[in-house]
Structure 1
Amino acid sequence: MTKLSVNINKIATLRNARGGDRPNIVQAAKDCERFGAQGITVHPRPDERHIRYRDVYDLQEIVTTEFNIEGNPTPDFLKLVKEVKPAQATLVPDATDAITSNAGWDTIRFKDFLTDVIADLQEYGIRTSIFVDPEERFVEGAAQVKTDRIELYTESYAKNYHSNRQEAIAPYVKAALKAQEYGLGLNAGHDLDLDNLKYLKDNLPGLEEVSIGHALICDALYYGLENTVQLYLRQLK
């Protein structure tokens, strides 16, 4: 079964909009795990507009499933990750003013940089994953920098799913097969939801984990958090 890691950034966005501590991030993570999620994902950004660095340290104390920290590997981010030592660090080339992740790494252009960062994190026993577009050359580049996994950026798949799902998933299948060829683990994330998740899972070979936040939290407004987590888990069986 492909694992579901719930990204709780949007819960932090709601808290920050009012100040105070409602909803409580730690309790939300505990509840997601209790409801069946096999991981918790956070993506702290420099402006702390949703998840704060303090949240990450607090979550370190209570997450019992797989803790995944995403972000641009700036010095501050790398310091945080090495102190927290999550199960996985997902490297994302976010611009500081990005509303959300909008591109994967050019693993060829940034080969030397990524090689150094990944080696550093792996010395701390942290599994590494690189956020990449579904292009075979970038998967090959990821293998060359010796990452443990890649995470396929699925915005394009989600955008084109309803018009032609076979065409939308085709480059992702090629990228997944290339990852298998190089022995890379495979994750996926971005704009995945209850409509498009099952088809992705059924057709993407070797998919180990999906990270889902925005759509899942939106659905939870209508279905409730416990029921929503269960609905997403069902799509992954």
Structure 2
Amino acid sequence: MSSLPIKPSIPEQPVTVERQPFLQHQSAINHFPDPGTARANVAATPSHPAGTTKDNWAARHSRQTVLQQHCEFFDRDHDGVIWPHDTFLGFYAIGFNVVLSLIAVFIIHSNFSYPTSASWIPDPFFRIWLQRIHKDKHGSDSGTYDTEGRFVPQHFEDIFAKYARDGKDGLTLTDVWGLLKGQRVIMDPIGSFGAFFEWMSMYWVLWPEDGVMRKEDIRRIYDGSLFYDLAEKKAKKANAAKKVQ
């Protein structure tokens, strides 16, 4: 029984050559099985097959999907409900100023509250329920989260295989713009804007000195573990400034 060779690209269709997917044999180098299979609770990649191990993150959050882990930082009292003021405090804690934090609250809660509600009636407080956060999955994104909130390693690796120029291990703003255009689907203004807001917010909070968002930082934003490091870094910086004064 013979198997046909897999062709990820054909020269007659330039877009398939320009945007090469992450190939299975690349993951075999690190003995990473089935990159196309979604991981429910671990943001696993060939370079980090066990997900985030710092502070035992993956083990401590094994009962949450990766999308729930991404949002957990903003659930300030860990009751499974994110209020608008929780989002404000969370964005402010990781480095956004007051104005940008308020804008984030408006964008996130006006769009993402209703799908997570258990009722047909809109929540007057615009709360977001983490139990149903998977319903906030939108189009025109990378596909790294699936429709149940799991993490798909293949799609995460595709981000860099397709859009990171010169084979670098990260993304510039130009690369992100290519990603946004490449992943955009027809008649999807909400999803397209959502993807734009998310990637621009990511760049703002990381603000790399050399202009390149590192792949590992991006992965840890997907599982939410980096938010705690960013908040700690900002708090230390603020305390240091007070001591100088």
Fold in common (TM above 0.5): no
Report the structure, 1 or 2, having the larger strand content.
1
Name which one, 1 or 2, has greater alpha-carbon Rg. Answer: 2
Question: TM-score scaled to structure 1, two decimals?
Answer: 0.31
Report the structure, 1 or 2, having the larger helix content.
2
Question: TM-score scaled to structure 2, two decimals?
Answer: 0.30
